[in-house]
Amino acid sequence: MKAEIPEVVSAADVTSWSHEVDVLVIGLGVSGGCAAVEAAEAGANVLVLERSAVSGGTSALAGGHFYLGGGTAVQQATGHEDSAAEMEKYLTAVSREPEPDKIHAYCVDSVDHFNWLESLGFQFERTYYPEKAVIQPQTQGLMFTGNEKVWPYNTMAKPAPRGHKVPVPGDTGGAKLVTDLLVKRLEALKVPIEYEVGARQLVVDDGRVVGVAWKRLQESGFIKAKAVVIAAGGFVMNEEMVAEYVPQFGSKFYTLGNTYDDGLGIRMGMSVGGAVKHMDQPFITAPVYPPSRLLTGLVVNKEGKRFVAEDSYHSRTSGYVMDQPDAAAFLIVDEAHMERPDFPLCPFIDGWETVAEMEAALGIPVGNLQATLDEYNANAAKKEDPLFHKGAEWLEPQDNGPWGAFDMSLGKALYSGFTIGGLATSVDAEVLDAAGNAIPGLYAAGAGAANLVQDSKGYASGSQLGEGSYFGRRAGRHAAALT
């Protein structure tokens, strides 16, 4: 799959238009669905193009976490105090390059956005899942899905759980409930959806985006629009783009996405001067938990040194593994804390009677692992971790051999991921050029836009669906106002 930038079509060269609309939305995942609903509800004449034969895109594969807070009905019902101000402090702390206006808007509107999502026709369960897990195992409405309780963030903002899961059991496919409801709402609003139609190029008139060129099998044509919303997903399925922007991924990870996550939407935005941000940043993860008991162990690199608080959200830990020599790391636990996962994404290597044998087997310089263990154990016995401030509940000495190790190295553990970078956008999802000026008539939302959470270390589960739906709605409203 190519990474080339599609040519821009000049409106002067278009002899006939197959449709003329106010707002054209490219893609019918969560962000496109939200953009189209809002634009139609604001009175715009809307058309949606979906390249696939069905709606939903990658959103329909997603587990169903939405990152929401500030005092949602689920937070209140389960006794978790939160405020927009604390949420804003947290998101600012985990953003590598915070965009204050966007973070502020997302946080102050979060309760309203929660209510809007529920108004589509479902309820987040008013229940809380207290365990450390990747996703709630059943339909519990709320859990911690980020680093809120992890140092130093727990000193920067009052921790609150914000991972709201749609009421569908299991860890994939939950968000289809939401994309199906968005389609239902679009049908009620009589918004036409053209399936199996791919937008290929943008049409421009005097610096303004005024439409798209489309293709369906052998058929092709042009659609005229006062505004175009790109909601066409990310680029994880485009090998050339991944090689260009996220080379550290190599081929050693499992891509999370759908066939059409080929970055065409991003490249269309670039074709008219749209800037891109954070393109080198993936969400990448190979969780070592559940069982959460394993987090009492130590994560060390091939030098035998710790480098991250082990109780971090799994993609933060994985992000730090990628920074280690050869992206290699091991989780070490003693016999008293050993538990074998049901789904071992990080394979168990072996067990050893002595630390010296383990060092030799793992290729760690002699004495390093012993020194790390001695220091860790002495502090853990006092419930302290001066190096990384791991939470007291996870601090237990690992001094009861034999010891076992799990392999967290890239290429050994089953890492999966998707891309995070995309088009630079304003708080209203207008696509921005390199100077920060809005490109007239063009919007982007969802995985093809660069938003609040910009790398694996700061990622919280639910931020993609949360941001995609929220900024999709803003795109739809702003685009409709142009008409």
Ligand X SMILES: Cc1cc2nc3c(=O)[nH]c(=O)nc-3n(C[C@H](O)[C@H](O)[C@H](O)COP(=O)(O)OP(=O)(O)OC[C@H]3O[C@@H](n4cnc5c(N)ncnc54)[C@H](O)[C@@H]3O)c2cc1C
Residue whose beta carbon is closest to ligand X:
29
In the three-class reduction of DSSP (H, G, I as helix; E, B as strand; rest coil), residue 114 is classed as: helix
Stretch that binds ligand X, among 54-62, 101-109, 239-247, 274-282 (CB under 6 A): 54-62
Query: Which position has the token pair 């749609």?
Result: 166
> In this structure, what token pair is assigned to residue 61?
């594969």
**Segment 413-432, which members bind ligand X (CB under 6 A)?**
418
Which member of 71, 146, 269, 446 binds ligand X (CB under 6 A)?
Answer: 446
Site map (CB under 6 A) of ligand X, residues 14-53, x = contact = ------------xxxxxxx----------------xxxx-
Shortest separation between residue 270's beta carbon and ligand X, angstroms: 14
Residue 166 lies near ligand X (rule: CB under 6 A): no
Stretch that binds ligand X, among 58-66, 85-93, 101-109, 326-334 (CB under 6 A): 58-66
- Order of strands across the sheet that contains 348-352: 298-301, 329-334, 403-407, 348-352
Shortest separation between residue 49's beta carbon and ligand X, angstroms: 5
Residue 172 lies near ligand X (rule: CB under 6 A): yes
Closest CB to ligand X among residues 345, 405: 345
Q: Which of 218, 195, 205, 209 is nearest to 268 (CA)?
A: 209
Distance CA 213, CA 38 (A): 24
**Segment 251-310, which members bind ligand X (CB under 6 A)?**
256-258, 260, 264-265
Shortest separation between residue 379's beta carbon and ligand X, angstroms: 35
Give helix 110-119 / helix 84-94 axis angle, nearest 10°.
100
E strands, 91-230, are 142-143, 163-165, 193-195, 198-205, 208-216, 219-230
Give helix 30-41 / helix 176-188 axis angle, nearest 10°.
30
> In this structure, what token pair is assigned to residue 158?
């009052």
Distances (CA, A) of 366 to 103, 132, 282, 321, 324: 47, 34, 34, 21, 19
Stretch that binds ligand X, among 4-12, 146-154, 184-192, 444-452 (CB under 6 A): 444-452
Number of residues located near ligand X, criterion CB under 6 A: 42
Residue 120 lies near ligand X (rule: CB under 6 A): no
Amino acid at 94: V
- Order of strands across the sheet that contains 163-165: 65-67, 163-165, 142-143
Distances (CA, A) of 133 to 233, 275, 287, 433, 461: 27, 36, 9, 40, 11
Distance CA 180, CA 160 (A): 29
Closest CB to ligand X among residues 58, 409: 58
Site map (CB under 6 A) of ligand X, residues 174-213, x = contact = ------------------------xx--------------
Closest CB to ligand X among residues 141, 404: 141
Shortest separation between residue 25's beta carbon and ligand X, angstroms: 9
Shortest separation between residue 56's beta carbon and ligand X, angstroms: 6
Residues that bind ligand X (CB under 6 A): 26-32, 49-52, 57-59, 61-65, 172, 198-199, 231-233, 256-258, 260, 264-265, 418, 446-448, 461-466, 468
